[in-house]
């Protein structure tokens, strides 16, 4: 006979979103069960954000060694120990893993069950030999790499983000299918670590971001030797010899074949819904994920969903944002709603690319009357000191200096976007940004200088000059 648990909340999935919900509920003394069939920490810790940024950091170190000449430091070609790089990546994961471990969450008061979960009915979940009847459920099962239907894909050994970080030998020629953020980050990192790299993108590389700024990123990555082929449809893949890969592509110039040693598939992600038996619980879903309202409740009033499984923006910080909304709803009955327009994102290429709010194209399509402000890194003293002068900020502003959107390309862009995300979420205007005091010298001054340009035209207006003249005469 199955053991029956009756917690207040049952969370399915121990990735970033699920862990945040479980930890918050336990902190308030609420009985909570957390179910996870795989690794604690989910995709972010084990296969995504953490290992990719660790790999990027190693690659950046190698790149800096090659380019010390501009600082008066002799450039050297680094000796890449790829097994050592892998140990670095694993070491970073291991350092963070205790924060997401079963032991830590059990100590917090969370009942952790390591098993696969499935809905028995609208108010019951089964995990192993345990039956959970909770007041509310939260589905936080995340997503997995999407593998497209390509002729021959099942006949070759291909990598995804779930396996690429297991490599202990440097790829000779890495072919990447997909020119989105994941594909471009890993392409540049492997190139800097000594691999030959070719990226195949069916449309436009980094096509979801502002093309004015992505052009700078793509130019730099190409300059480092990555072969980026856009509008290249992958028609077929096949083995070449004992360990090689051959990829056939269709372009405007006809059909071509590219030979490599490794193949990385990075074309997107699919929501993890298989095996949950969502139909038993009356939960609607489609290919993108669970259908949720802006309060993140599913078609079953007892069940909420957070993170990638909702088909929303697929970022760790979005899963955590969702977790906060759900906790407010479950514990305090507060009518919190998601506002995706305030969510920033960043691509950790070099230069970095970060964005929040509307792009120029989106603002124009929405019928907004806009002004565009830019300021280059080259006009910033800190950027000059660090020889990181490539890039600029682009601000899309509406009437009376309202901030509609911001995109930054350049060094530390992912850090610099934080202030703009806060400003946008709190409804601040360019006057607020122009009026704050920035420490000198910092790259954040770039944003302030751009904001000031919104008001620069006022100095030449006749009315303003007449007012100044009147005030001068008054003594």
| 3-state secondary structure at position 424 | helix
To the question of whether residue 212 is assigned a binding role by annotation, the answer is no
To the question of whether residue 403 is assigned a binding role by annotation, the answer is no
To the question of whether residue 310 is assigned a binding role by annotation, the answer is no
| 3-state secondary structure at position 147 | coil
Nearest to 187 by CA among 201, 207, 168: 201
To the question of whether residue 283 is assigned a binding role by annotation, the answer is no
Apex CA 274: angle with CA 271 and CA 280, to 5°? 115
Nearest to 37 by CA among 121, 126, 154, 150: 126
Q: Which helix (H) or strand (E) holds 255?
A: strand 254-260
Exposed (0-12), middle (13-18) or buried (19+): which is 242, by Cβ within 10 Å? Answer: exposed
Alpha-carbon 154 to chain mean position: 28
To the question of whether residue 15 is assigned a binding role by annotation, the answer is no
To the question of whether residue 181 is assigned a binding role by annotation, the answer is yes
To the question of whether residue 184 is assigned a binding role by annotation, the answer is yes
To the question of whether residue 141 is assigned a binding role by annotation, the answer is yes
Report cis status (omega within 30 of 0) of the bond before 88: no
- Cβ(5)–Cβ(130) below 8 Å: yes
To the question of whether residue 162 is assigned a binding role by annotation, the answer is no
Nearest to 223 by CA among 107, 350, 370, 81: 350
Sheet holding 124-127, edge to edge: 3-5, 130-132, 124-127, 117-121
- Cβ(68)–Cβ(75) below 8 Å: yes
Nearest to 251 by CA among 237, 236, 231: 231
To the question of whether residue 180 is assigned a binding role by annotation, the answer is yes
To the question of whether residue 201 is assigned a binding role by annotation, the answer is yes
To the question of whether residue 131 is assigned a binding role by annotation, the answer is no
For residues 246 and 263, give the distance between their C-alpha atoms in angstroms, rounded to a whole number. 9
To the question of whether residue 113 is assigned a binding role by annotation, the answer is no
To the question of whether residue 358 is assigned a binding role by annotation, the answer is no
For residues 217 and 410, give the distance between their C-alpha atoms in angstroms, rounded to a whole number. 8
Report cis status (omega within 30 of 0) of the bond before 351: yes
For residues 259 and 261, give the distance between their C-alpha atoms in angstroms, rounded to a whole number. 7
Tokens 């499984």 locate to 309
To the question of whether residue 268 is assigned a binding role by annotation, the answer is yes
For residues 412 and 390, give the distance between their C-alpha atoms in angstroms, rounded to a whole number. 12
What residues are designated binding site for NAD(+)?
178-185, 201, 268
What residues are designated binding site?
53, 141-143, 178-185, 201, 268, 308
What residues are designated binding site for FAD?
53, 141-143, 308
């Amino acid at each position: 006979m199955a053991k029956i648990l009756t917690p207040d909340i049952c969370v399915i999935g121990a990735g970033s979103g699920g862990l945040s919900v479980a930890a918050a509920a336990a902190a308030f003394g609420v009985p909570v069960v957390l179910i996870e069939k795989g690794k604690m920490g989910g995709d972010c810790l084990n296969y995504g954000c953490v290992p990719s940024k660790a790999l990027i950091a190693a690659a950046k170190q190698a790149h800096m060694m090659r380019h010390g000449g501009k600082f008066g430091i002799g450039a050297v070609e680094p000796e890449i120990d790829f097994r050592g790089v892998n140990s670095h990546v694993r070491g970073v994961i291991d350092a963070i893993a205790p924060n997401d471990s079963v032991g830590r969450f059990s100590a917090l008061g969370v009942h952790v069950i390591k098993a696969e979960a499935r809905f028995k009915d609208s108010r019951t979940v089964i995990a192993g030999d345990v039956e959970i009847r909770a007041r509310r459920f939260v589905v936080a099962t995340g997503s997995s790499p999407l593998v497209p239907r390509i002729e021959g894909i099942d006949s070759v050994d291909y990598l995804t983000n779930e396996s690429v970080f297991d490599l202990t030998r440097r790829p000779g020629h890495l072919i990447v299918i997909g020119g989105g953020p994941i594909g471009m980050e890993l392409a540049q990192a492997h190139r800097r670590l000594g691999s030959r790299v070719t990226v195949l993108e069916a449309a436009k590389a980094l096509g979801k971001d502002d093309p004015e700024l992505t052009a700078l990123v793509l130019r730099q990555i190409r300059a480092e030797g990555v072969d980026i082929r856009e509008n290249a449809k992958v028609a077929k893949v096949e083995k070449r010899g004992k360990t090689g890969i051959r990829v056939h592509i269709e372009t405007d110039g006809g059909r071509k074949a590219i030979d490599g040693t490794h193949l990385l598939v990075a074309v997107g992600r699919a929501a993890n819904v298989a095996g949950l038996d969502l139909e038993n619980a009356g939960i609607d879903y489609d290919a993108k994920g669970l259908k949720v309202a802006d309060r993140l409740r599913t078609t079953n009033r007892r069940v909420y969903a957070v993170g990638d499984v909702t088909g929303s923006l697929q970022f760790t910080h979005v899963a955590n944002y969702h977790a906060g909304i759900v906790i407010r709803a479950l514990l305090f009955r507060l009518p919190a709603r998601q506002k995706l327009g305030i969510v920033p994102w960043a691509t950790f290429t070099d230069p970095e690319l970060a964005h929040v709010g509307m792009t120029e194209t989106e603002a124009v399509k929405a019928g907004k009357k806009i002004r565009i402000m830019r300021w280059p890194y080259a006009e910033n003293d800190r950027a000059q000191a660090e020889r990181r002068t490539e890039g600029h900020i682009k601000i899309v502003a509406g009437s009376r200096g309202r901030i509609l959107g911001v995109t930054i390309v350049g060094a530390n862009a992912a850090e610099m976007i934080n202030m703009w995300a806060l400003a946008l979420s709190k409804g601040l205007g360019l006057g607020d940004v122009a009026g704050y005091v920035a420490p000198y010298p910092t790259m954040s001054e770039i944003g302030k200088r751009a904001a000031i340009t919104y008001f620069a035209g006022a100095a030449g207006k006749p009315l303003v000059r007449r007012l100044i003249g009147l005030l001068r005469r008054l003594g």
